[in-house]
């Protein structure tokens, strides 16, 4: 179930993307003639088209595709029927049909690239996330995303992470603390930073990034809720787990971040951390290869 906030974001993002492609606001005062190539087709010509994936993927972006054609239909007074053969989160093999479109040919062509841009990009994030989740296999360690997202697609990509089986870290700068090296320096130390955070927003989780076992001890003694172990070796992580248990019986959660790969993921998880965060889920994506073809 998509949240009301995400649904609103989808409407806004799709509207912005259509404007980008058509060169202006796509409102009731305009029409699909602003797609000058699609306007070569007779105005009332009807068509059927299908979209397939040319590679294995985990699907994400159904609502974005639907919204593209909904907005175009509202303006052009047309009706596009969309038949989906998959849903968000489905793992599908190469050459599988994803959905079929039936409606005004101009509208199908005008919406094609915008719709596929969303679908191929979000499916890329979901697909990479699924690969990392599968690499973790069974276990208690959760895979997290980061804020390293494509500008304007923060909520979309974080939703895609969940479709791939991952979990969301903080959404932005407003819902949780992440105290890093520069914050620590500017605040005068870990203890001052954590104390001030808990005073300012006692209802928010406080996470501290540390680069050594000494900093870990300081963060635990200051009462941090989560400790991010930045670029720790597996040996250091194992030591961190021991230190956490000795100081506060393991009440603080431990997160590992930095230089995470599919090959090393399981080793870090075996060390006993609660979370592994991976920026590559949203910033190192390669769009899934999709194709739309008219039928008949």
Q: Say which of 70, 147, 148, 253 is annotated catalytic.
A: 148
Q: Say which of 154, 230, 238, 283 is annotated catalytic.
A: 230
Q: What are phi and psi of 231, to 5 degrees?
A: 55, 40
Is 209 annotated as catalytic?
A: yes
Which residues face 208 on adjacent strands?
Answer: 179, 227
User: What's the CA angle centered on 21, arms 172 and 123, to 5 degrees?
Assistant: 50
Q: Do the beta carbons of residue 243 and residue 193 sit within 8 Å?
A: no
Q: Do the beta carbons of residue 269 and residue 276 sit within 8 Å?
A: yes
Q: Say which of 91, 154, 180, 283 is annotated catalytic.
A: 180
Q: Do the beta carbons of residue 296 and residue 45 sit within 8 Å?
A: no
Token match 């049909």: residue? 97
In the chain, what's the furthest Cα-to-Cα distance? 75
Q: Say which of 207, 209, 215, 274 is annotated catalytic.
A: 209
Is 230 annotated as catalytic?
A: yes
Q: Say which of 91, 113, 266, 283 is annotated catalytic.
A: 113
Is 180 annotated as catalytic?
A: yes
Sign of the CA dihedral 60, 51, 86, 14? positive
Catalytic machinery residues: 113, 148, 180, 209, 230
């Amino acid at each position: 179930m998509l949240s009301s906030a995400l649904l609103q974001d989808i409407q806004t993002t799709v509207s912005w993307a259509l404007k980008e492609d058509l060169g202006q606001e796509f409102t009731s005062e305009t029409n699909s003639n602003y797609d000058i190539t699609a306007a070569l087709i007779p105005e009332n010509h009807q068509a059927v088209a299908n979209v397939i994936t040319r590679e294995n993927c985990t699907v994400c972006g159904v609502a974005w595709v639907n919204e593209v054609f909904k907005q175009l239909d509202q303006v052009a007074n047309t009706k596009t029927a969309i038949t989906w053969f998959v849903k968000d989160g489905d793992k599908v093999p190469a050459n599988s049909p994803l959905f079929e479109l039936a409606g005004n040919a101009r509208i199908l062509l005008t919406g094609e690239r915008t719709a596929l841009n969303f679908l191929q990009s979000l499916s890329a994030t979901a697909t990479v996330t699924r690969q990392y989740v599968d690499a973790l296999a069974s276990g208690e360690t959760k895979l997290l995303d980061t804020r390293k997202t494509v500008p304007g697609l923060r909520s979309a990509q974080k939703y895609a992470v969940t479709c791939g089986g991952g979990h969301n870290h903080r959404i932005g700068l407003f819902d949780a603390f992440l105290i890093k090296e520069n914050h620590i320096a500017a605040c005068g130390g870990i203890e001052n930073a954590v104390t001030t955070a808990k005073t300012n927003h006692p209802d928010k989780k406080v996470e501290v990034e540390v680069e050594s076992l000494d900093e870990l001890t300081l963060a635990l003694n200051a009462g941090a809720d989560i400790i991010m172990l930045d670029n720790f070796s597996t040996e250091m992580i194992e030591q961190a787990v021991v230190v956490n248990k000795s100081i506060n019986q393991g009440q603080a959660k431990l997160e590992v971040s930095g230089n995470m790969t599919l090959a090393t993921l399981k080793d870090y998880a075996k060390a006993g951390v609660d979370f592994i965060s991976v920026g590559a889920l949203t910033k190192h994506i390669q769009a899934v290869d999709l194709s739309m073809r008219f039928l008949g």
